[in-house]
Every structure is written in C-alpha cells, then in structure tokens.
A and B are shown apart, each in its own frame.
Chain A
Amino acid sequence: MAEVNYKKKKIIEITNVTKAFGAVTAVDDVSLAINRGEFVTLLGPSGCGKTTLLRMIAGFDLPTKGKILLEGTDVTQIPPNKRPINTVFQKYALFPHLTVFGNVAYGLKILRVPNGEKKLKNGSVKQLYRKLTKAEIKAKVERALSVVGLAEYGYRNVTTLSGGQQQRVAIARAIVLEPKVLLLDEPLGALDLKMRKEMQLELKRMHSELGITFIYVTHDQEEALTMSDTIVVMSDGAVQQIGSPKKIYDEPANAFVANFIGESNLLAGNMIADFKVKFLDVVVDCLDKGFAKNESVDVVIRPEDIELIDEEAEKAQMCGEIISSIFKGTYYEMEVVAGGYEFTVQSTNGKEVGSKVGLHVTPNGIHIMKKMRATNEFIGEADGENLVWMCKGDFELDLPEGVEKGDKVKVKVPFDAVELTDDENDGVIGGNVTQSIYKGTYYQVQVYTDTDEDFLVDTSDEWDINDRVGINLRREKVTVEKVEEEEDE
C-alpha cells in the first residue's frame, strides 16, 4: 500500500540519462525521481551538467541514453510543445514585439481545451477541443499577472520594464498555462543582490500558492539552501548527493559537497576504530562506524561546531593560536592555526588575535565521509619499451614482464604519484584544474584532461581553478598491470 502511494507521488522519473555533445559528456548516467509539489534545486558549479539536465526535462535536448518519465509516461522523445512543462529562462527570452499581455497570452492562444465528445459513425468516441475565448484569456492573463505582482502592467512594452519586472513577466507567461512542472534556469542570475533576495521569497510564495512542482537550477548554494525542499548536488555531470538542505549541510556525502555547500574545515583522517577518528595526530570521538580499520576518510567540521575554550582546559582536543578575527555582524569569523591546519571557526565570542586557545568538537559536530576514490585508474596501451600511451600522451612507466607493444594495460596512479607543472608544455599531457579542496595538510586537486578523463592529485601547492597545467607521473609510484583480453580468433 505504502509502495503504491510512493509511486503516485513521483511526477518525474529520470533513469540512467546520459547526454554527450561530441566527445564531452555533459550529463553522465543520472537517475533521479522528483515528487509532486516539491521545490527541487539542481545545484552545482558551472559546467556540471545541471542546465543540460533541465533542458532534457523541457525537451530542448534529447538524451543520448536513458529515459525521462512524466507521471509514468515516457516523454523522452516528445517535443517541448507537447509537454505539460514550462520554462523560465535565464535571460527571460520575452517576445520583444509583444506587450506584457501579449507575452503572457501567447501560450493561451495556442492552448486547446476539451469541449465535449462526439460519437463517430463507427461507434468510437472522439474528444473535441476548442480555443479559449477572448474573455477567458483575459481573465487568465490578469490572474497570472496579479500572482507575480504586475497587475497593472499588461499594456506595457516588455522592453521598457526593469530586469526584475521582466523576470516576473517570464514567470507569469510560464505559470499561466498551469504546467505540471515549472522549470527555472538560474532565473535570478541577472538581478542585483537585493532584488534577488526579494524574488527568492516571492518564488517560494508562488510555489506554495500554486502547488506546482518547481525544478530550479542554480550555482548559488545559499539560494538553494533558502528555497528548496530537496537539493540535488551535481558535479562533472553526475549527482553527488540528493537530500534536504539540512541533510546536505549536516551530512555531506563527500568532500565535493562539503566544500561546495557552506564553509567547512575539511581534513584527511583515518578511522582507527568504530566511533574513533584520527586526524592531525589527535584521536577524536565521532558518531560514525562501519569503516575498515585505518580506512582513510575525509573529515568535515563546520566552523560553527568548533568551540574555543581555554588552552589548559581538560576537554581541549587541540591547542592553537588565533591568527585573524573578523566581526561579521552576528558572529566572529576566526582563523585558528592548530596542528598545522588553519581552522575556520565561527563564534559569538570573539577572541583577540594572537591569543592561545583550545579547540573542542563534540562527536555530533564531526562528520566522516568515505573517500570518493582511492586511486586514479586508466586504461592505456603499451607503446614500446617502458612507454604507455594513455589520455593521448606517452608516459614513461615500468611495464610488467610479458607486456608487448600494443597490449592493453591498466594503470593505477595514486594521488601522490601525479606531478603538476605550471607550464603545460613541461608535462606529458595538459589539463584544466576543475576543483581544489584543502584537506588540512595538502590540497586535493582535480585535473580534467582534454580526453575527458580526470586525475585526482594530492599536492602541497595551491592551484587555481581553470588553470592549464601539465601532468607528469612519478614512475616509481605507478603500477601497471596487463589487461587480459579475450582473443577474437
């Protein structure tokens, strides 16, 4: 029984959807279910595939693979004009040759509503449709305009409106058709901060008034946390975590989510036993269990979960020195150096710069995450003596015995076996830095190659996102295995 109800609640189901543009995979095997009436936000940095996913739901792009279901019906191949889904575009895309009224009425003039049935001679029943009357259109347009707070603006030329007003017209134009799902593609991106805050609340109000499912795309984590019932965090075309704002903030699934949402202290640690984690050479109690002994993990501590106490106090887990303190209106944001790591701490009690403090975190404030992956793995081809061809580059690596030129090999590259160079030409291959996360004593950097593969790299240097870098491998740390291929003959 419960199962049936649950199924009915789903309005959109996305199963294993992949979208590739040429060699680039924008959305990679995404599965996602969206409940009726929910306010769902697709959140991620630019280029993470969130807009592409939205465009596939709208019907502007067709998935390379996978299915999209709307209320249980497959709509993957249905053109956008046949879907009961409407979109609010990032740059409004209002029709400049029409008035505000004309813009909002555009869809209504095309709409056909059921108008009785007709018995055909062969006995079957044919559904009849009719256009909306002028009076009906006028009433609907006026209602939609009053919902967005532009009741008196119908006669205005859209080009004379301010950005915020144009955005409201775009919303009115979409909701007037009473869609089952409203898609919003960074609708507040072009507005100034004050306007944006106002519109966030307005959108939230419209969502509860209209009862339509909203799917909202943004790269602004604060916007996502404020407005959503559910947040879908995306990166590299894949879903990283789905959950309520609170869950995503308190229990990020991995280092990417923790770093992207809110401020956090991210550290590398080891689980030395259930409920015991070791980082920066201190063992601290936590609430997590079920890890292998000494499994290396990522540890997240939110700035507001660190308590600053007296250095000598018994419950001080670490000692540190305050190196900066900024008053932020309702709290102080302080940088504390302890055990070689720069902790960010938020507290209502400000401490003097230079003072020595003790740090204390309750088990509740510590969140343990599994490592996303332990090594980089690539498939390459042996290319002569001690050479491996992979990611369109010839790497000098030690080949195991029995591997001959042309054989397929699997190359395992630990994070610390990768060397990045400032000049792309100094590396065997080049790539773009897409992510850089500070983990306490080192940075974990993600580098995308031109062949659409990525290297995770542990490095003591800080690298800027979007920098071009060269990639070299430390030969002694890389292992190469032969891949046994089934012979075709």
Chain B
Amino acid sequence: MKKVYLLGKIFIGLMLAVMYLPIVILIVFSFSGSSGIGAWSNFDFTFDLYGNLFTNDQIMTAFGNTFLIAGISSVLATFIGTVSAVGIYYLHRPFKGIVSAINRITVVNADIVTAVAFMVFFIVCLNYLDGYVALVIAHTMICTPYVILSVMPRLSQINPNLYEAGRDLGAGPIRTLFTVMLPQLVPGIISGFVMAFTLSLDDFVITLFNKGSGLETISTLIYSSTKHGIDPTFRALSTIIFIGILAVLIGINVYSASRRKKALLVGGKA
C-alpha cells in the first residue's frame, strides 16, 4: 500500500517536472546574456536581457500590438458573447440545441482552418482587408464562442422567478435586466473575458495569416526571428509574460478565497 503511494508521488513529481522544467530553464537563462542556451560555461548572471527588452523598439511595438488587439477583441467578444448567450438561452426547443451545437463547432474547429477561412473571407468579401481591423474582427469571432460557453451555465443556475421578483418590486424590464439579472452573470462574464483575452494574446496561426505585412504581434515576431536564431531578449520577455499571468491567476484565487472566507465569517457571526 505504502509502495503504491510512493509510486504515485514519484509519478506526479515526474509529470510536474516535464510540465514546468522547460519554463524553469527558460527563466534561469533569462538572467544570462549568452546566446547559446545550455552552455553553463559562459553563464553570467546579468539583467542585461531585461534592459535590452525595454530598449528594443521592435519587441515593444509587438508587445503593444498584442495587448491592443487582445484588449479590444476580448471586450467586443465579451459583449457579443453575453448578449448571444442570453438570446440562445431563451430560444425555443429545436433552435436552442441547433445554435448551441453550431457554437461548439467553432470551438473544436482547427485553428488552421479558421485562419485560412478568415484570410479567404477578407480577400473575397472585404477587399484584401488586413492589419489591425482584420485581426480584431478575427479574434473577436474566435473568442465569442468561449464567452457564450462560460455565460450559459450561469444563466441556467438563475432562479426562474428572479426576473419576476424584480418586476414585482416595481422595476421595469430594463432596470430589472441591469440590477437583477446582469449581476447574476458577472462571474461568468469575467471568466469569459479572461479566457477571451488569453486566447487572443497567444494566438499565432490566425494572426499570421491575417496580419498582412508590417504588423507584428509577439508570437509572429518570435516566429519570424527564429529564422536567424532566437534573439536572447525573448527569454526575458517570455519570463515577464509568464510571471504576469501567474500573478493575475494568484490574484484571482486569493480574491475569491477571501470572499468565500468573508461570507463564512459573516454567516457564523450571529
């Protein structure tokens, strides 16, 4: 029995190592200016790469582009997705199932297919549209289904009498929507937004096919620079992005844990 337990521990340790060791190595080498990774002989501990990062215009522009596109398209996707989820939820029998199924198709569809499809669409229907507008449209469209999927379950948890309770207490339909129904959806909307933002942030395939020339995001910039060996500065950039996302994740967890605790404390008081 004890042996099995130990084996399990070793297995988990191995799994975690495989998952996180690459990232750890990347972080370690982000503190070395050496262009050859893996050679410990010329490992010099410096912050040079981080310094370079902020003076490298190409990287800073790509960084800005990435966050601009992710910001705009995730806000749009959150709005469209929330409204669509409400609409789909109140559809009648056959249509509800059909529309939900169509929504899931876009989620499981291969990125490369979506990417080529958007490229063809922009060429045929929108006169060779590319650049920011094309990317915002494409990213909004790939993110929206995820928002719908995260808002829908919240809708089905709402007490069906809640809307009527708002109306009963004197609120008109619009006021009830904003003060009673919307607050119930907020957790779903937030998680949908976060999902949409990260999805847009690390999208590569769709961006590559639709960005046109001249516009680079982080992922396409890294890709194009691999042709002449990876610029060591990207190690610092990757480290910063990883730490940033880790910080946001920890922040969200700590916040929700403290909220739960507060609710319990208040509950136990009387």
Instruction: List the interface of chain A (C-beta within 8 A of B).
Output: 58-60, 79-81, 85-87, 89-97, 106-107, 110-111, 152-153, 155-157, 159-160, 173-174, 177
Chain B, 167-188, contact with A by CB distance < 8 Å: what is the 0/1 string? 1111110010001100110100
> Chain A contacts of B165 at CB under 8 A?
87, 89, 93-95
> Measured between alpha carbons, how far is A86 from B170 in the docked complex, in Å?
9
Instruction: List the interface of chain B (C-beta within 8 A of A).
Output: 159, 161-162, 164-172, 175, 179-180, 183-184, 186, 263-264, 266-267, 270
> Measured between alpha carbons, how far is A177 from B186 in the docked complex, in Å?
28
B168 close to A58 (CB less than 8 A): yes
Best-surrounded residue of B169, B172, B180 (most CB of chain A within 10 A): B169
> Chain B contacts of A58 at CB under 8 A?
164, 168
Which residue of A is nearest B167, CB measured? Answer: A80
Grouping DSSP codes into helix (H, G, I), strand (E, B) and loop, the B interface class, with mixed when no group exceeds half, is helix
B161, B183, B186, B266: which contacts A89 (Cβ < 8 A)?
B161
Which residue of A is nearest B172, CB measured? Answer: A81
Interchain residue pairs with CB less than 8 A apart (6): A85-B168, A95-B166, A95-B180, A107-B170, A153-B270, A160-B266
Best-surrounded residue of A59, A86, A93, A110 (most CB of chain B within 10 A): A93
> Chain A contacts of B162 at CB under 8 A?
93, 95
> Chain A contacts of B179 at CB under 8 A?
106
With contacts A111-B170, A160-B267, A177-B169 taken as known, whether A93 is within 8 angstroms of B164 at the C-beta atoms is yes
> Measured between alpha carbons, how far is A40 from B267 in the docked complex, in Å?
36
Which residue of A is nearest B179, CB measured? Answer: A106
B159, B172, B183: which contacts A93 (Cβ < 8 A)?
B159
> Measured between alpha carbons, how far is A277 from B168 in the docked complex, in Å?
52
A81 close to B171 (CB less than 8 A): yes
With contacts A93-B162, A97-B184 taken as known, whether A80 is within 8 angstroms of B168 at the C-beta atoms is yes
> Measured between alpha carbons, how far is A62 from B186 in the docked complex, in Å?
32
B170 close to A81 (CB less than 8 A): yes
Give 10 new A-B contacts, CB below 8 A, not counting A60-B167, A106-B179, A160-B267. A58-B168, A79-B172, A80-B167, A81-B172, A93-B159, A93-B164, A153-B270, A157-B263, A157-B266, A160-B266
With contacts A86-B169, A107-B170, A110-B170 taken as known, whether A155 is within 8 angstroms of B266 at the C-beta atoms is yes
A87, A107, A155, A160: which contacts B164 (Cβ < 8 A)?
A87
> Chain B contacts of A110 at CB under 8 A?
169-171, 175
A92, A97, A107, A157: which contacts B169 (Cβ < 8 A)?
A107
> Measured between alpha carbons, how far is A89 from B164 in the docked complex, in Å?
9
Q: How far is the CB of A358 from chain B (nearest CB, A)?
A: 56
A91 close to B161 (CB less than 8 A): yes
> Measured between alpha carbons, how far is A488 from B76 in the docked complex, in Å?
63
B169 close to A160 (CB less than 8 A): no
> Chain A contacts of B161 at CB under 8 A?
89-91, 93
Nearest 6 CB-CB pairings of A with B: A160-B267, A107-B169, A93-B161, A97-B183, A93-B165, A110-B170
> Measured between alpha carbons, how far is A96 from B159 in the docked complex, in Å?
10
